Structure 1
Amino acid sequence: MNMYCPAARMLGGMTISAFPDMAGVILKYGLTSTFRDGFIPLIRNFKAVRLAGEEVKAAGTALDMVLDSRAMAFADVTDDFGRHSSFERGLASVSTRFGMVSLMAPWTAAMKQFSGLVVMTNILRSSERLAKGFPSPIEVRRLASASIDVVLAHRITAQFEKYGQKQGGVLLARAGDWDDAIAREAFRAAVVREVDRIIVTPGQDKPLWMSTELGKTIGQFKSFSVSSSQRIMLAGLQQRDAATLNGIMVSLGLGAFSYWAKERFADRELSDEPAQWVIEAIDKSGLTGWLMEVNAISEKVSRGTVGLSAITGKQISRYASRNATASLLGPSLGTVQDMINVAGSVATGSATKRDLHTARTLLPAQNLFYLRRLFDRVEAATGDSLALPER
């Protein structure tokens, strides 16, 4: 049960946090390929793009509208087994459907289908060039990373020439019609691998201790930062080309936009310090993986005396609503501390508006970005009607 409660009450803004997803395909293939193979067909030939999206789903990814797999992976609620009680099953149902409520599922499905369009085009084009003997070194490297060698490139190219179609710049593989099962499976596996790396979907790249019962509790909501360390930070350091530079710049811009949007939806004042904007952009971009996670925890636990906040004088916004226990030991244990604090304040008759806010944060969906201001108004009106002191 402890894995479900925090997801529905704390991840209401995860779609806004996912804005830097749009830079993932640029990090991998660069601006030229992203516009030539993605945005231009999207504008000129939307029907073919939709068919390509169906091809991506047939490969086994971009199925979040049905499976909601990415949102559940973010919340670490995908690997809990057992019969459980009716109450626990009810909480599980709320959490496993929260990706639809938060709009994370449609966002992820759209981003993966768009990325898959670019990925498929590049795999088919690079396979053809490798089969004909004039690939570029970067194409050889990309195909090798997807486990496609010269032999498989020949087989994939032959199947595409036999069954595939070219519609206004969109390469439709039509892999379901291929009669070479090995080529089909290799092609689809490469598509799924690349798409799930571009639109970071946490998988088995987290440390083993996070798979234990205690580790899952402490490490909840941290799977993305661990996965992005492997799939974005280390991959970019190895790639080291113009595409990486372009992707980094776009990621930082989208990270800054994500910070602006989240602060606006929360009705908080934006910082006037350029250094704060830089740190927030780096944090929200996901480029640094778990490094900024360590910084955020250090700032929260030390009350801003350790970490990048020592430079700006203000802690980063990511852990603004969490207490020190939640930051260090996970949101489930932080929830327990909040419940104890609220119960103690009510029992002793010393409840304040701060305690009311803590009680509000225990409600499911209270952090949904499009409902947050409504909850804020109800909270303010309740505090005034009860004549609660500020602190």
Structure 2
Amino acid sequence: MTVHPLQLVGGMTLSAIPDMAKVVFAHGLTSTFRDGFVPLVRNVRAFRLAAQEVKDAGTALDMILDTRAMAMADITDDFGRHTMLERGLTAFSSKFNLVSLMAPWNATLKQFSGLLTMTNMLRASQRVAAGKGTAKDIRNLASSGIDADLARRISMEFSIYGDSQDGILLAKAGDWDDAGAREAFRVAVVREVDRTIVTPGQDKPLWMSTEVGKLVSQFKSFAMSSMQKTMLAGLQQRDAATVNGMILALGLGAVTYWAKETIANRETSEDPAVWAVEALDWSGLVGWAMDANGVLEKATRGKVGLSYFTGQPVSRYQTRNVAGAFLGPTVGLTADMFQVSGAVAAGDFKQSDLRTARRLLPIQNLFYARTLFDRVEAATGDALGLPDATNRKD
């Protein structure tokens, strides 16, 4: 059993800012602007039609199903008849992702990525069908399960039913006569969109699917998938799109670090080494390697890991207790609860304990409401006369 992370994921949308770089990773800088941004500006109506085509394929449905956020939180494989409380928490979690703007963010990015995927896939199929396909066209189509025969059939159906509006290719696959070509095309679109806007699936070790594994590895599926679908895939591509994607991801990772620290009312570091580490961490490029680094830092109090060079822990792990870092958020939440109850029972309740108690509250980490919670926390600490009220480190 794992917790529904309402008190943890309020800043998930800020953490997802580097997702925009994944589109460049997959399609390249030129295609992203030529086949994505420019047609979007020219013809919004055609973009909406293309977005509907992506949804008809079976992806970019996060406004309704919230699949990506649930997969990232590792709470998609629950089964059986749940209690009323569990059903209520599940419904609240889904609605919370609308409030946190994560569901709209995921849906929009997947629609944009799907537009590029369909355009590039249709053009590559046309070139292969005409005998003008490049080695890259053949490789990209093959990686999506489309061989030369399927490419010819897809190109044929598009020539009959498809449409082109201001650079946006509308497949209109629902009208195709060739059911096999339609199925192959839609499956390929879903696969590529979920690879570009990293959506955790079965690309994780088997031990993470056991009951104990699901408990201690919650929130780790995204890191595993990101390593497979972003970094390793990029290293295999070895092209300009990979380089551009990496540079953009690091830049957006630095933006995420700045946004997170600013909203939390913390000073950003003046050390370039800290910015470099934070940009690498928030970029998601190295996946689970940064999670391993965070555990090492907690285990050795900063003597081993990147904090040895920067002099401070990676910000993403600063507020996690040791139990949470090693055994997952469910165990960390339990440890926090015992810390608070122990402090109350012993009559030794401090500002740090109030901070821990605040972290147990649902939506306390919602990025645009965090300042309000910070002020309430500070005022409560002052009103109760709690020690170390001005010495908060997290």
TM over 0.5: yes
How far did 1:99 drift? 1.5
Do 2:2 and 2:218's aligned partners in 1 also have CA atoms closer than 8 Å? no
Secondary structure at the aligned position of 1:166 is classed as strand
Report the counterpart of residue 392 of structure 2 in structure 1.
none
Report the counterpart of residue 246 of structure 2 in structure 1.
248
Quote the Cα distance in structure 1 between the aligned partners of 2:2 and 2:180: 43
Quote the Cα distance in structure 2 between the aligned partners of 1:77 and 1:101: 18
Report the counterpart of residue 149 of structure 1 in structure 2.
147
Report the counterpart of residue 66 of structure 2 in structure 1.
68
Report the counterpart of residue 54 of structure 1 in structure 2.
52
Do 1:77 and 1:96's aligned partners in 2 also have CA atoms closer than 8 Å? no
Do 2:66 and 2:103's aligned partners in 1 also have CA atoms closer than 8 Å? yes
CA distances 1:130-179 after superposition (whole Å, capped 9, x unpaired): 00011111111100000111100110000000000010111000001101
How far did 1:95 drift? 2.1
CA distances 1:74-93 after superposition (whole Å, capped 9, x unpaired): 11111112323322332222
Report the counterpart of residue 203 of structure 1 in structure 2.
201
Quote the Cα distance in structure 2 between the aligned partners of 1:41 and 1:160: 19
Letter in structure 1 aligned against 2:281: D
Do 1:127 and 1:156's aligned partners in 2 also have CA atoms closer than 8 Å? yes
How far did 1:301 drift? 2.5
Report the counterpart of residue 282 of structure 1 in structure 2.
280
Letter in structure 2 aligned against 1:216: K
Report the counterpart of residue 2 of structure 1 in structure 2.
2
Report the counterpart of residue 33 of structure 1 in structure 2.
31
CA distances 1:271-330 after superposition (whole Å, capped 9, x unpaired): 110011011111111111111110111112222111000000011111122101001100
Do 1:62 and 1:108's aligned partners in 2 also have CA atoms closer than 8 Å? yes
Report the counterpart of residue 159 of structure 1 in structure 2.
157
Report the counterpart of residue 226 of structure 2 in structure 1.
228
Do 1:76 and 1:220's aligned partners in 2 also have CA atoms closer than 8 Å? yes
Report the counterpart of residue 368 of structure 1 in structure 2.
366
* Counterpart check, 1:381 vs 2:352: no
Letter in structure 2 aligned against 1:15: T
Quote the Cα distance in structure 1 between the aligned partners of 2:264 and 2:21: 25
Q: Which runs of 5+ in 2 are unaligned?
A: 390-394
How far did 1:213 drift? 1.1
Do 1:3 and 1:76's aligned partners in 2 also have CA atoms closer than 8 Å? no
Greater CA drift, 374-383 or 83-92: 83-92
How far did 1:50 drift? 0.8
Secondary structure at the aligned position of 1:220 is classed as coil
Quote the Cα distance in structure 1 between the aligned partners of 2:85 and 2:59: 31
Match of 2:213 among 212, 215, 235: 215
Report the counterpart of residue 112 of structure 1 in structure 2.
110
Letter in structure 1 aligned against 2:265: D
Secondary structure at the aligned position of 1:171 is classed as strand
Quote the Cα distance in structure 1 between the aligned partners of 2:90 and 2:345: 30
Secondary structure at the aligned position of 2:18 is classed as helix
TM-score using structure 1 length: 0.98
User: How big is the alpha-carbon RMSD for the aligned residues of Structure 1 and Structure 2?
Assistant: 1.0
* Counterpart check, 1:237 vs 2:235: yes
Q: Which runs of 5+ in 1 are unaligned?
A: none
Do 2:39 and 2:166's aligned partners in 1 also have CA atoms closer than 8 Å? yes
Letter in structure 2 aligned against 1:289: G
CA distances 1:171-214 after superposition (whole Å, capped 9, x unpaired): 00000110110010011111000000000000111111111111
Greater CA drift, 300-309 or 146-155: 300-309
Letter in structure 1 aligned against 2:189: V
